[in-house]
Structure 1
Amino acid sequence: MRLIVGITGASCTIYGVGLLQVLKQLGIETHLVVSKMGQEVVSHECGMALEELKELATFYHDNDNLAAPIASGSFKTDGMIIVPCSMKTLAAVANGLSNNLLTRAADVVIKERRKLVVVPRETPLSLIHLENMTKLAKIGVTVMPAAPGFYHQPETIGDLVSIMVGRILDQMDIENNLFTRWGEE
């Protein structure tokens, strides 16, 4: 399996870091792209430098490199996950603005009819945000707000990260046991 992972400048970068950690453990090939603000938020929220984040991915692509393989539809992937997804990135993807590698890769995933999961993190949501999410949902993009459930009785932040990462993996049809599912002991 080959996945593109985008991390943008919204809060909850811990979900992106957690996702990369699990994908690495599962041996899934990852192509990481991080926006400038994504780098800053990862540093602020997770205390990680870009170099540490790169080590979690199989391949890292600079967001300014529009000649990277993931910018082409002929480079086969199983899909893309943008976690967290800022409203700026969401708006760009929803409106076909491919002005950097992250948004170009998302555009390619959409045009090639591959799976795209966006994990927006903003509150409250404006009508513009909701319209952009609706536009993406109408074309088959999974819009999965960064809102973990509590039915599994989380005790740590790690537990909250696990349920979100597990649910993201579910959307990509990747088997996992990161959280207790409803009705399971």
Structure 2
Amino acid sequence: MCDVVSCANDGACFANRADGYICLCPLGFKGALCEESFSLSSPLFNETMFSYAVIQWPQSSQSYLSFMEFEVTFWPSAPSGVLLYSDDAGSKDFLAINLVDKYVEFRFDCGSGEAVIRSEEQISLDSWHELRVSRTAKSGILHVDNQRPIGGIAEGAFTQINCSSALYIGGVPEYEKTKRTAGVMKPFTGIIQKVCNRVQ
């Protein structure tokens, strides 16, 4: 089907069944053939305004997760701040992605001990960066831009995380109520363009 279809504006055609197709459009374009342009804005977070965004987890609040993966595209304007955070009020469980003096940190606790995974190199301010974190049971991996992936393992025996709170992006409503070992100290300043997640 894609041999007779032409997606506009550098869209890519993919066959989604024997007699069908879909055009995957670049940012800023939509429509069956990526023919429609639209204005796209990215949320700007500001430390002095204590701004943050809230999204709900796709599964129920009492789900215990063995696997999770997040991809984040961001533009930092300050060297430190929280990118993503969620926790469980009734246990030690949490997950956090922080920027700490221009290093990216992925922290999580399955309830019996934390893992702290830190990028090898600092990132630059005022430029776009991509990160991906994944956690399977007690093992976590952090990828930042083209840096070497870094792995780590949480202490203790527990292998699942329950996050009963919402997923906070760019900050949290009350910093004094975050888990002490999560390293969540201050809001993020800059742009967070994309957050994608998969959980099981």
TM-score, normalization by structure 2: 0.22
Which entry has the higher C-alpha Rg, 1 or 2?
A: 2
The one of the two structures with greater contact order (alpha-carbon pairs below 8 A, sep at least 6) is: 2
Write 1 or 2 for the structure with the bigger share of strand. 2
TM-score, normalization by structure 1: 0.23
Write 1 or 2 for the structure with the bigger share of helix. 1
